[in-house]
Structure 1
Amino acid sequence: MPVGWPEVYVLRHGQTEWNAVGRMQGGQDSALTGEGRAQAVRQGRILAGCDLNGFEAWCSPQGRAIATAAVAVVGRVAHVRTDDRLREIGVGEWEGRLRREIPELAGAEDADGVGLQGYDLAPGGEGLAALEARCRDFLRDRSTPMVIVTHGVTSRVLRLLLTGRPLSEIDRIGGGQGVVYHLAGGVQRVLDQAALSGPVSRAR
């Protein structure tokens, strides 16, 4: 991890109504489902077991991330601020479409991140290189340990940068909702429900 980048906890927002049916969101938004709210509660419990003294909290300005932060982070860090650079990757003409109807994303499942480089093919979309540039810009502005609440693809790119890995590994950095990623010293650890009763769970 580049010198000067701080310790970070990264959360993806909880499941949304569009997530549940496989609909592409990008710059659009939909409400958290009951499962999504439960995932945010689990993330909050995980963070409650972490020493967040001196941490800042940053959140995407999109509604689903703000709703997750309200459950998982508020009350655990003094202030939650938003930054537009943490929004989800823009997917252009794919916004609102069902994932299964997009051949370029065949096999790109949220759970395991297979085929996510297909996001570069979205007509009118932002592209992964542009997303990486704004994520890097965000991190360069930070020197204090942070909790970040963001989105599926943006989370992956932030964590690639924090571990010094290339965009070509976006399918292997890990994903999922209801977990918390801890990054320090270039090492990623994923905290899940098992972390509530002991030390950090499994590494990826």
Structure 2
Amino acid sequence: MTRFPDLYLMRHGQTEWNALERMQGRLDSPLTALGRKQARRQAALVRNLHPQIGEVARYASAQGRARQTAEIVFAGESFATDHRLVEIDIGDFTGARMQDLVVSHPQIFHGARLDWYDHAPGGEHFSGLETRVRAFLDELTGPALIVTHGITLRMIRAVAMELPISRIGEMPVRQGAVHAVRQGRHQMFE
């Protein structure tokens, strides 16, 4: 059995840069109309899960797209922002379009679908992300609703489920869904 409390994880809604396949990393762009709709869907899912969840802490990444999503999801309820929940820093790849990176850096983009995050020049890499995610999770004292980012959400799941970091590429993450990790097991609500 895992040592972490129940987690209800959400990726921020679609952003303008997501729609353009532009890599955000630590930069930001606003939610699209679809992104706001996805956040409203997450709000409904959270309301439906509330009888199972009970009292819960609410957190969001300090980045604008996650805060904007959290404001919709939590509908006036207070939440804390935490810098440890921000997206992985992708260094020199920040702001680039994915299709351009694949062409300009074939040696990095030839392997598994998400391995490139661990090789981005000037980036944080998985070890740095794992360290800050563990520090955040170690401080939790009870169940938590968390709005974060795609790679960070995968890392939180891997740590909470005690899986090797090499498996994060196998983990689906959907915008508009709630990913529950309870007693070391994952369940997605859509």
Q: Name the SS for the 2:49 alignment partner.
A: coil
Q: 1:16·1:33 contact (CA, 8 Å) conserved in 2?
A: yes
SS in 1 for 2:36: helix
For 1:119, the equivalent position in structure 2 comes to 117
Aligned with 2:41: secondary structure? Answer: helix
Structure 1 gap segments, 5+ residues each: 108-113, 193-204
Aligned residue in 1 for 2:74: 73
Q: Which residue of 2 aligns with 1:146?
A: 144
Alignment of 1:170-189 (within 5 A): 170-189=168-187
The alpha-carbon deviation at position 171 of structure 1 amounts to 1.0
Amino acid at match of 1:72: V
> RMSD across aligned C-alpha pairs, in angstroms?
1.4
> How far did 1:2 drift?
2.9
Provide the rounded CA distance (Å) in 1 between the counterparts of 2:71 and 2:93: 28
Q: Percent identity?
A: 40
User: Hey, what's the Cα distance between the residues in 2 that align with 1:180 and 1:91?
Assistant: 25
Provide the residue aligned with 1:20 in structure 2: 19
* Alignment-derived partner of residue 44 in structure 2: 45
Match of 1:198 in 2: none
Kindly indicate whether the alpha-carbon contact (under 8 Å) linking 1:59 and 1:149 is maintained by their aligned counterparts in 2: yes
> Which aligned runs of 4 or more in structure 1 are off by greater than 6 angstroms?
none
User: What is the rounded CA distance, in whole Å, between the counterparts of 1:146 and 1:105 in structure 2?
Assistant: 34
Deviation at 1:105, TM superposition (A): 3.9
Quickly say closer, same or farther: Cα 1:106–1:72, change in 2 above 3 A.
Answer: farther
Alignment partners' CA distance in 2, 1:99 and 1:61:
24
DSSP-derived class of the 2:58 partner = strand
Q: Deviations over 1:142-162 (max 9, x none)?
A: 111100000010000001111
Query: Contact between 1:24 and 1:97, CA under 8 Å: does it hold in 2?
Result: yes
Which residue pairs with 1:34 in the alignment?
A: 33
Show CA shifts across 1:98-146 (max 9, x none): 0111123469xxxxxx611111111100001110111011000111110
**1:97-108 to 2 correspondences below 5 Å:** 97-103=96-102, 104-105=108-109
1: CA distance, partners of 2:59 / 2:2: 20
Letter in 1 for 2:154: R
Aligned to 1:110: none
How many angstroms does 1:53 deviate by?
2.5
Q: Is the 8 A contact 1:92 1:125 kept in 2?
A: yes
Q: Which residue of 1 aligns with 2:62?
A: 61
Question: Do structure 1's residue 190 and structure 2's residue 188 form an aligned pair?
Answer: yes
Structure 2, unpaired ranges of 5+: 103-107
Higher relative contact order (CA 8 A, sep 6+): 2
Paired amino acid for 1:47:
V
Question: In structure 2, the residue corresponding to 1:49 is in which secondary structure?
Answer: helix
Number of positions where the alignment pairs a residue of Structure 1 with one of Structure 2: 183
- Alignment TM-score, normalising by the size of structure 1: 0.86
1:74 is displaced (CA, Å) by: 3.1
What TM-score do the two structures reach when normalised by structure 2?
0.92
| CA gap 1:105/1:48 in 2 versus in 1, 3 angstroms | farther
